[in-house]
Every structure is written in structure tokens, then in C-alpha cells.
Amino acid sequence: MNYLVFFFFLHNVLATFVLGMKFVKRTSGVFKNFGIALLLDAVAFLVWLFGIMQQGSLLISVTIGAVVFLVSLVFMLRAAFEDTQASTRRLATIIGAIAVVGIFYVGHIQPETAYISQEGFFFFNLGPLMQMLYIFGLAFTALPAIDLLTDKFKSSYAVLVRYGFIAEVVTGIMLITSKNTQVLYISGWISGLMYLLLWTTLLFSRKAWASTS
């Protein structure tokens, strides 16, 4: 087992869980929906980590984790539409749910090819079409939600939240699409360090939440 990969996924579970719990406890709908999405991501990373540790269950773990992750995108979308009318938000939720079901269906009809390399790297090994769908889904839901989330913070904390979570989206895309070892190491370290900065700051700094509700 590649212990860097193991600790990467373990830290992602911790980071998304801690951040999700901090957000979901707030009264703002943007925070709550974003927090639920992060908690679902924590479950997805935990399931994928189990697959890495128990490679005989890798394919089923990839499938279950993918379902949980796709559901998290619906809550990201709800966060992005939180400031719109209730009817618009419901429509966006329905469209988002249909979209993620479509993404899962397209992925389900393709052969499961996820694997662990000899170096211990975990590859989803998605085809070009699935890569495109996941990138569109992640970018179209997470980036607008991050934009609204940032507006709830002030000063340097807003900068941290904006670029910290954008970095997570970008590195997530790289981890989905790249098979280059150097790129994966760099993306993994950037993701891990940004998550570390985000969850430690938002967990321990009271000033970060001073202007939020």
C-alpha cells in the first residue's frame, strides 16, 4: 500500500467531515447545503479509502462512493441557488438530480476499470466522456456555490475560502483525469495542504465566523 495515498484519502475524510460539520450548523441555507455536500464527500472518500485498503471490494467501493459524490453535487447546486426563489431552487434541484442520475447511468453502462497501480496509486480510470461529465458536474455546481459561500466571509478569510475551495475543485479534476505520477503527487499535496489550512482555520478561528450567521 502507498501510505501517501492512504493518508491523502484519510485526511480528506477528516477535512471534509470537519468543514461539513462547521457549515451545516450555521443558519444560512448556503452554509447548510454546502455543509451537507461536504459531509457526503467525507462518506465518499471513506468508501473509496475502504476500497483501497480492501482491494477485493475496490470496484463496488468506487461505485458506492461515486453515487454518494454525485448526490453531493445536488446539494452543491442547491447552495448555488440558495438566494433564488424557492420555485427556482426546486427546479434546479430536480434538474440536478436528473443530471446526476444520467451521469451515473452513462458510467454504469461502461465497464468498471478502476484499479490500483503497482506504485499504489488509485485510478478511477474514467473514459473521456465520463471525465467530461464529472468535470462539468463538479465545475457547474461547486464553483457558483463557492462564490456565494465566499460572500459570507470577510477580509482574508473570504480569500482563503474562495481560493482554498477552488484549489480543491481544480486538484480534484486533475486527480480524476491525470495518470502522470508527478502531477498526482503535486495535486495531492496541494489538495492536502489547502484542506489542512481550511479546516484548521475555520475550526479554531472565531474571527473567521464573526460576520456569518
CATH of domain 3-206: 1.20.1070
Q: Where are the domains of the chain?
A: 3-206
**Quick one: average pLDDT of 147-152?**
92
Q: How much is the pLDDT for 117?
A: 86
Both ends of the chain: CA-CA distance in Å? 43
- CA-to-CA distance for 184 and 110, rounded, in angstroms? 24
Average pLDDT of the chain is: 92
Cell of 101: 442520475
Q: Using one digit for the tens of pLDDT, what is the confidence trace for 150-200?
A: 998 988 899 999 999 999 999 999 988 988 889 999 999 999 999 999 999
pTM of the model: 0.94
pLDDT band at residue 111 under the 50/70/90 scheme: low
The residue among 154, 128, 136, 170 whose CA lies nearest residue 207 is 154
SS3 assignment, position 27: coil
Alpha-helix runs per DSSP H in 25-154: 29-53, 58-80, 86-108, 128-151
Q: How much is the pLDDT for 183?
A: 92
- CA-to-CA distance for 101 and 93, rounded, in angstroms? 12
